[in-house]
Amino acid sequence: MSIKNTASWVAYLNQAELPVLAHTLRQVQKITQSQTSSVQELAEVILRDPELTTQVLKVANTVYYNPNIQSISTVSRAIALIGFDTVKTIAMTCMVIDTLFHRKAPKPLLRSMAHALHGAVQARQLLTRNDSQKREEMFIAALLSNIGELAFWSCRTPEASELEYEQQVSEPLVAQKQVLGTTFNDISLSLIDTWHLGPLLKSVVTGNDRDKGPAPSIRLLSQLVRQAEHGWDKPGAEVSRQQLAQSLSADVSQLQAQLQENAEKTGELARACKLDAILPYLPLRENRNKPCELTPQRGNSTLQLQILRDLTLALCDKPSLNGILQIIAEGIHRGVGVHRVGILLLSQREGSFRARITLGPDTEEWKNHFILPQQGQTGLHEALKTGQATHVPANKKADPKLANLKDPWIGRHEALIAPLTLGNRMLGMIYADHGNQVCAISPEQLQSFSHFALQARLGLMHLSETVGLS
């Protein structure tokens, strides 16, 4: 698949991935925009889906929507107690979440959903007072303002891994145009038109500076929650907060207290919606002392010793090549704390290294595609020539010699590599990296990786002496 324009992406998302979400959102919008729509019509749309009904009632019973904790056990009662527009908001939120999170969610989708839900809660709490209909309009407009981004990351297209990498080394808009031939914003606009999601949402996404309504404030809030993902004091967040205070005629310190309170409410709502996985991407009080993703990772020395003990016992028992390599790979993955590990063995007949043992996320295709020629001029080849465990720095420019590996991280992301030798004979190599995790390889990790590579060579020597290696 090669899609390089907005119309093609929208057609793909509509036809191949999200037709159910599009249909249901249209239904709810049609009912709620009608002057003659009834409680019964909204209830019927929700009650057609038992899972949606259960989730709507669960969220309706949370403190966020039901502060007086009056038990709600039917959709009709929910509409009567907390309001038609509020139940509509809950239903649309649950539908978006259920559709996009029906599979294991990748990190960019978790981050995008955290921003969307956080922005929606902030807009609902800050931009309206006593008008319940307006309040829910603000929520939906903020929630769906990045619908193109949410839809893309939920589908895990072949371009997803490439874009995930490019957005870390280039400006997001530049990366999107380079990989997708369009931008998330343009995809959002087309989806809003196609799904008939209303003028306010379109105004928010269009981004006209002359807008006089709430759209500029919603855009500013959406920008602020992205900047504040790891804390309100992060770069850019202070400027956006000042701008928001000015637009709302609010005191900055009081506004900051409200922003934090609303962030905590977002966390409560996320838990009610079974979205605990997005909590690390919210500026919650509980996250303040957690290390940033850019912090160099540290291994678990106790676990390393336990795994090395297992290796010794395995060598004393009835060792096998696969068994020894598996223990080494697990030690590097779990003990050293490197997300992806591959042990490749050299085929003299083919003249190439081929993955034999793989561990970690996004390594499913390594056994088919991680095949590295024995001779070459890549950073991996240079590292092997040192004869010892080596840190390979990131290379932002893609190496065409590694294109056949079918992995956007290998060769461009920093990695650890070590040769597997028996005397002067090359048997294979150990490769490890953090994949799509934005964190550095620490000196401690390199040292621990070196130790496991040494133990692997000693293990191979022991095997050659006891059972022989062909």
- What string of pLDDT tens digits covers the 470 residues of the chain? 556 778 888 887 777 656 666 776 776 666 656 555 567 777 887 888 788 888 889 899 888 888 877 888 888 888 888 888 888 888 888 888 887 776 577 888 999 999 999 999 999 999 876 667 788 889 988 999 998 998 888 877 778 877 876 776 567 888 889 888 999 999 999 988 888 888 888 999 987 767 678 889 999 999 999 999 888 887 678 888 888 899 888 998 899 999 999 999 999 999 988 889 899 999 998 887 654 444 445 678 888 888 888 888 888 877 788 888 999 999 998 889 898 999 999 988 888 999 999 988 778 788 888 899 888 888 888 888 888 999 998 876 767 777 677 777 888 788 999 999 888 889 999 999 988 666 788 889 999 999 999 999 988 888 887 766 65
CA-CA distance, 185 to 6, in Å (whole number)?
A: 10
Whether CATH 1.20.1740.10 fits 6-287: no
For the CA atoms of 165, 166, 172, 177, what is the dihedral angle to 10 degrees? -130
What pLDDT, on a 0 to 100 scale, did the predictor assign at position 364?
79
Six-digit token string for 327: 């223990």
What does the pLDDT read at residue 300?
A: 81
Give pLDDT, residue 2.
58
3-state DSSP of 380-446? HHHHHHCCCCEEECCCCCCCHHHHHHCCCCCCCCCEEEEEEEECCEEEEEEEEECCCCCCCCCHHHH
The H or E element containing residue 45 is: helix 39-47
What would the CATH number be for the domain defined by 301-466?
3.30.450.40
Provide the whole-model pTM. Answer: 0.66
Q: How far apart are CA 132 and CA 454, in angstroms?
A: 66
> What pLDDT, on a 0 to 100 scale, did the predictor assign at position 295?
44
| 106-158 confidence digits (pLDDT tens) | 888 999 999 999 999 999 999 876 667 788 889 988 999 998 998 888 877 77
Give me the half-sphere count of Cα atoms (radius 13 Å) on the Cβ side of residue 392: 28
156 vs 168: CA distance, rounded Å: 18
Tokens of 203: 């105004």
Boundaries of every domain in the chain = 6-287, 301-466
Q: What is the dihedral of CA 129, 133, 137, 139, to 10 degrees?
A: 60
Torsion angle of alpha carbons 452, 458, 460, 463, nearest 10°? -130
